[in-house]
Structure 1
């Protein structure tokens, strides 16, 4: 079965998305990026759907694709999409290399695109040899972007096309607590893994002081019923948190990252919402380049049984806390919004910016002025 894509008359970008197929929480920021692109540019969204009776086919294709390039000739298990026109740019942001298999569901995507760019959200150097067959598919694009600086350097020696390191971005308009900043009712927020000693000390601190420590209480595969609702709920928590924990990527799975040191999007998410980041101040050129401002991260060990003393000491400096929150918000608006990332993509493709992008810049400038002109509510009362 082949579906003909309904195109905008002014569309210049074809945007491939897996939003109808993948619903793990880790995908939410990628879909947010896609939504922001749709607001900023003339783009057609290509979102293939799974053929219910062939889901097992998709799994087989994904598994075999790591071993052999011949897997691309297997059925995708997805409804085939026929592009209705030519595009100036074909853009695909992937969470994992196996996402490249969805390309086979889009007929003539390469022939109908003047340029094509793939953005890899997460890929570790230690996994490159295991994924050699899929890596070859990246050569079908004109440019490859990788959010991990170390991996980008490694890919330069393995691919035939240019590779660029560009860090994660986010919707700073959505994350910014202004113009109506809520009360910071959550003292400390932890998402995902945590060290048992730190966790126990935070629970004791909350019980003793009457403050609120928010943390994960479920494990296993976390799937979204609605990625926009998930993102809104997450942003709401961050905007109401005084402290947010963020550590070096894969802190509990060092075998996956080996000696590679990378920072994840969690840092920027917390900063953009105005939280004070407690965690790893990573010793890497990429971290120093992109998260280099004063107190961007308060260095706290992952195993920190005295985290209560750290928090109490910081709470005794309300002016410092307010300055950190303000600086985090303003710098993320200036440097880490999706607008900046999309500009870089368009530069690679040789395309001009759009009026919608200019309008977004005005909105960002307005929020920055608010954040700079008014003290934040993060300081302890």
Structure 2
């Protein structure tokens, strides 16, 4: 098997040029980029004609009939044989894009599809899209509770793959900045907690950073991810909650958690919010004080923060543990290693190189390696009142 760059063994089919500015696609692009960094991979990212309504029509039709039309993707001539076809599907509707690349699946020995978001109650609604998954050799949903019902729907065993992030982007080391943001909140938020934090910001020297503009599009997705990371690593506290916690009707009360928990831990921020009540969270975030549970209906987050500010040693221990654990366990490179094992391929040297860099950063973050003196904590609120 030739693993030279001019003869790639992995074909990464990316939707970045179709949905690339959508904020929730950022982690997908990160994963694809890391695969290309550590393996011998070719990125295929087709584009759709923005003036065409074909994709919209094909998607609407598939909701009502078992007909999947090509949404307008150009035909890609087969150039070589690959060992693996890899694709990330953000939502079931994305599968209509993958269905249009039948000739590429034939050019790959094994095909793998990751499915980011599919709630159990939505399976019947997306049944026509989900038929595409049966054409892949390995299907890996990110949502653990969806694995069994999805397997039953497509007649093929699915394998759960946990979420991850580019932890090196979020890690503050080797040159950690001062944490000048007291609380960072992005995306969905609890109205009760939001109002309490706003009051804290108005009453004193307290920096509460939160979204003030709605929308789901970025000017540049890479820049957006870097900006989020830069803000998170400068934050003392980071708000987290399970996926769509404020829309139980949409989730059917299925409890799943997203990238926020990984981002907050990797940045060394103390996570405040609801601890996901499912079997997966305590397995992935199994270190002491991984987060502080604050129900989204709670009105006393100010008390929680003030109590934590009385114990700076505990804060530093929490920050260091979160950074080290994510660097050693929850970077995308470990998920790629899992996929390689599933398809029977050996890792290439680039994977070990990245793991070595992660290990070195983890040693710095845990206080075991060389680094500039870290300013892990801004002065607590009590000292500034």
Q: TM-score range by the shorter chain?
A: over 0.9
Of 36, 39, 43, the match for 1:38: 36
What CA deviation, in whole Å up to 9, does each residue of 1:322-369 have, x standing for no partner? 000000000001110111100011111111101000110110111011
Alignment RMSD, CA only?
1.6
Contact 1:319 1:379 in 2 (8 A): no
Residue 65 in structure 1 maps to residue 86 in structure 2: no
Contact 2:177 2:374 in 1 (8 A): no
Of 243, 248, 262, the match for 2:242: 248
Q: CA deviation at 1:140?
A: 0.3
C-alpha separation in 2, matches of 1:334 and 1:20: 31
Q: CA deviation at 1:195?
A: 2.2
Provide the TM-score with structure 2 as the length reference: 0.93
Of 179, 195, 213, the match for 1:218: 213
CA distance 1:107–1:158, shift in 2 (3 Å): closer
Provide the TM-score with structure 1 as the length reference: 0.94
Structure 1 residue aligned with 2:318: 324
C-alpha separation in 2, matches of 1:209 and 1:336: 37
Structure 2 residue aligned with 1:339: 333
Structure 2 residue aligned with 1:29: 27
Q: CA deviation at 1:68?
A: 2.7
Structure 1 residue aligned with 2:293: 299
What CA deviation, in whole Å up to 9, does each residue of 1:122-147 have, x standing for no partner? 11001001111111110000010011
Residue 102 in structure 1 maps to residue 100 in structure 2: no
What CA deviation, in whole Å up to 9, does each residue of 1:197-232 have, x standing for no partner? 21121111122231210001112x321121110110
Structure 2 residue aligned with 1:80: 75
2:159 partner SS = strand
2:85 partner SS = strand
Matches within 5 A, 1:184-203: 184-203=179-198
Residue 368 in structure 1 maps to residue 362 in structure 2: yes
CA distance 1:295–1:111, shift in 2 (3 Å): same
Q: CA deviation at 1:104?
A: 4.0
CA distance 1:378–1:153, shift in 2 (3 Å): farther
Structure 2 residue aligned with 1:16: 13
Q: CA deviation at 1:293?
A: 1.4
C-alpha separation in 2, matches of 1:377 and 1:262: 33
Matches within 5 A, 1:144-163: 144-163=139-158
1:66 partner SS = helix
| Structure 2 spans left out of the alignment, 5+ residues | 380-385
Q: CA deviation at 1:167?
A: 1.2
Contact 1:83 1:109 in 2 (8 A): yes
C-alpha separation in 2, matches of 1:115 and 1:78: 22
Of 125, 129, 136, the match for 1:130: 125
What CA deviation, in whole Å up to 9, does each residue of 1:56-80 have, x standing for no partner? 111111122233332x2x2322332
C-alpha separation in 2, matches of 1:258 and 1:107: 34
| Structure 1 spans left out of the alignment, 5+ residues | 1-6
CA distance 1:79–1:51, shift in 2 (3 Å): farther
2:16 partner SS = coil
Of 309, 316, 329, the match for 1:315: 309
1:145 partner SS = strand
1:379 partner SS = coil
Structure 2 residue aligned with 1:358: 352
1:122 partner SS = coil
Residue 273 in structure 1 maps to residue 267 in structure 2: yes
Q: CA deviation at 1:31?
A: 0.5
1:188 partner SS = strand
Structure 2 residue aligned with 1:3: none
1:211 partner SS = coil
C-alpha separation in 2, matches of 1:324 and 1:225: 34
Most deviating of 140-149 and 59-68: 59-68
